């Protein structure tokens, strides 16, 4: 058993052999050989379009693509729902925003925790569709339930929020929020980009109506993500586009949409990306998502404990590991987050994120840090040894700059 507690998986990530110490997993994860091999196998052995033909390679490709839907849906406990492959989480959110049939007087609720992908599109859509938009304020610990409950009323059409904050790492009480929203007849759209890769996702009676996530944050390739639609709600949103693969029949002046996910996937999809994402889901399933979560908690505890012992450092977000994912954002008194991140990279080969992290409203209006923070985020291939190296390197940089 290796230092990371998950077996000898680091060998699967060739990029780590360069000496890189990678702590920017909240932005994008690394990719194991198994995922790349699955994609290469598609291009090398059965390269063909899907759902368009009866010859052997297209049948193999179609079967692999359909299997990818099933595997990814199973991974997020959505086997009974409709899983649509998208370009990324941003596109998935846009499909719901632009696909809903808006009514006069509708209200949308979002929070100040949101990534720009779940913030800016709502601002633009408000101007187009005319709904009211209420932005719920949050505390610096990322807790949103109380203020969100106050904002809910019977005009609320949809509540859209991040399951896990990409800045604070705070975990929202998903079932509780869904229950509150449903009691007012509202839909729930969950941005699960920071939760799907890091913890078990369990579907319950009081759960989301729509869930969006990206593949590149869960060991998969870029350019692939998914939107999960609760079975029975497919007719609540119109597809962004129609065309090849999305229609069952076409007459001279009418068309009939296909069923299930096919109606939302017009045109040639990212076949290799879907196959790669499915392989990433299998890889994570092989480890076990509860083991992934437990491993990250150990790394997080070590990192937060050591950071708190450095004078001038302020850590943001909850301290309770039960409501915190593997993200630590912090500031250093008097020092620029970008300079520190740059020195960590150039002098020690450590990759961390710095700046506003696509969360300007949270940074400016809640945390009071318009210049941003430093963020270190962990994943399955990170080790305690790497965490200790990161903290030691950070101490040296701070001592040198003061």
Classify residue 102: in a domain, yes or no. yes
Return per-residue pLDDT of the chain as tens, 402 residues: 356 677 799 999 999 999 999 999 999 999 999 999 999 999 999 999 998 889 999 999 999 999 999 999 999 999 999 999 999 999 999 999 999 999 999 999 999 999 999 999 999 999 999 999 999 999 888 888 788 999 999 999 999 999 999 999 999 999 999 999 999 999 999 999 999 999 999 876 678 999 999 999 999 999 999 999 999 999 999 999 999 889 999 999 999 999 999 999 999 999 999 999 999 999 999 999 999 999 999 999 999 999 999 999 999 999 998 999 999 999 999 999 999 999 999 999 999 999 999 999 999 999 999 999 999 999 999 999 999 999 999 999 999 997
* SS3 assignment, position 338: helix
- d(C-alpha 290, C-alpha 372), whole Å: 31
- d(C-alpha 133, C-alpha 126), whole Å: 7
Decide if 105 contacts 155 (C-beta within 8 A): yes
Classify residue 5: in a domain, yes or no. no
Q: Supply the CATH number for residue 229's domain.
A: 3.40.640.10
Same domain, 191 and 335: no
DSSP secondary structure of 25-60: TTT-----HHHHHHHHHHHHH----SSS--SHHHHH
For residue 313, what are the CA distances in angstroms to 23, 51, 104, 304, 330? 18, 55, 48, 11, 7
- d(C-alpha 59, C-alpha 368), whole Å: 55
Q: How many domains does the chain have?
A: 2
| β-bridge mates for residue 188, sequence order | 159
Decide if 265 contacts 25 (C-beta within 8 A): no
Same domain, 199 and 296: no
Classify residue 69: in a domain, yes or no. yes
Angle at 274 between CA 45 and CA 98, to 5 degrees: 145
Helix H, strand E, coil C: the string for 97-130 is HHHECCCCCCEEEEECCCCHHHCHHHHHHHHHHC
Classify residue 161: in a domain, yes or no. yes
**Angle at which helices 289-307 and 384-401 pack, to 10 degrees?**
30
The Cβ of residue 235 has, within 10 Å, a number of other Cβ atoms equal to 10
Classify residue 330: in a domain, yes or no. yes
pLDDT for res 97:
98
Nearest to 212 by CA among 130, 128, 115, 144: 115
Longest dimension (CA), the chain: 74
Same domain, 106 and 230: yes
Same domain, 16 and 44: no
Classify residue 302: in a domain, yes or no. yes
- d(C-alpha 186, C-alpha 158), whole Å: 5
Q: Which domain holds residue 375?
A: 10-23+288-401
Boundary of a domain, candidates 266, 286, 306: 286
* SS3 assignment, position 327: strand
For residue 321, what are the CA distances in angstroms to 113, 115, 149, 173, 353? 19, 22, 24, 14, 21
Same domain, 89 and 213: yes
| β-bridge mates for residue 302, sequence order | none
Boundary of a domain, candidates 253, 286, 319: 286
Boundary of a domain, candidates 254, 286, 318: 286
Same domain, 123 and 248: yes
Tokens of 65: 């693509």
Classify residue 227: in a domain, yes or no. yes
Classify residue 1: in a domain, yes or no. no
Catalytic residues: 358
Phi/psi of residue 273, each to 5°? -65, -40
Same domain, 236 and 338: no
Nearest to 328 by CA among 342, 310, 307: 307
The pTM assigned to this predicted structure is 0.95
Strand stretches in 150-222, DSSP E: 156-162, 187-191, 210-214
Torsion-angle region of 260 (φ positive above 0: left; ψ -120 to 50: alpha; else: beta): left
* SS3 assignment, position 96: helix
Same domain, 269 and 163: yes
Phi/psi of residue 19, each to 5°? 95, 0
CA torsion through residues 243, 81, 237, 116, sign? negative
């Amino acid at each position: 058993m290796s230092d990371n507690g998950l077996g000898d998986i680091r060998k699967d990530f060739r990029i780590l052999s360069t000496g890189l110490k990678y702590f920017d997993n909240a932005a994008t994860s690394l990719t194991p050989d198994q995922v790349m091999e699955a994609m290469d196998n598609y291009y090398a052995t059965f390269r063909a379009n899907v759902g368009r033909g009866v010859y052997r390679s297209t049948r193999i490709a179609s079967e692999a693509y359909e299997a990818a839907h099933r595997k990814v849906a199973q991974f997020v406990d959505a086997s009974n729902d409709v899983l649509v492959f998208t370009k990324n989480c941003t596109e998935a959110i846009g499909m719901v925003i632009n696909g809903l049939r808006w009514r006069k007087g509708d209200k949308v609720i979002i929070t100040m925790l949101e990534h720009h992908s779940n913030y800016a599109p709502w601002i633009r859509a408000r101007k187009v569709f005319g709904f009211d938009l209420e932005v719920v304020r949050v505390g610096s610990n990322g807790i949103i339930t109380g203020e969100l409950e106050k904002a809910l009323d019977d005009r609320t059409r949809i509540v859209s929020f991040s399951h896990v904050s990409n800045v604070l790492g705070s975990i929202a009480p998903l079932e509780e929020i869904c229950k509150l929203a449903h009691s007012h007849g509202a839909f729930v759209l969950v941005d699960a980009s920071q939760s799907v890769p890091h913890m078990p996702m369990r579907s319950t009676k009081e759960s989301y109506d729509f869930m969006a996530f990206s593949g590149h944050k869960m060991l998969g390739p870029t350019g692939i993500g998914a939107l999960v639609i609760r079975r029975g709600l497919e007719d609540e949103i119109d597809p962004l586009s129609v065309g090849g693969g999305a229609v069952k029949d076409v007459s001279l002046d009418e068309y009939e949409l296909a069923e299930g996910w096919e109606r939302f996937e017009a045109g040639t999809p990212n076949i290799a990306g879907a196959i790669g994402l499915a392989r990433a889901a299998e890889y994570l399933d092989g480890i076990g998502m509860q083991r992934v979560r437990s491993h990250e908690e150990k790394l997080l505890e070590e990192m937060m404990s050591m950071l708190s012992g450095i004078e001038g450092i302020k850590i943001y977000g909850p301290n309770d590991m039960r409501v915190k994912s593997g993200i630590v954002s912090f500031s250093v008194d008097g020092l620029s987050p970008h300079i520190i991140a740059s020195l960590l990279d150039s002098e020690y080969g450590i990759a961390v994120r710095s700046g506003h992290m696509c969360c300007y409203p949270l940074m400016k209006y809640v945390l009071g840090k318009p210049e941003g923070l430093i963020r270190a985020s962990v994943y399955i291939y990170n080790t305690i040894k790497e965490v200790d190296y990161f903290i030691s390197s950070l101490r040296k940089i701070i001592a040198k700059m003061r």
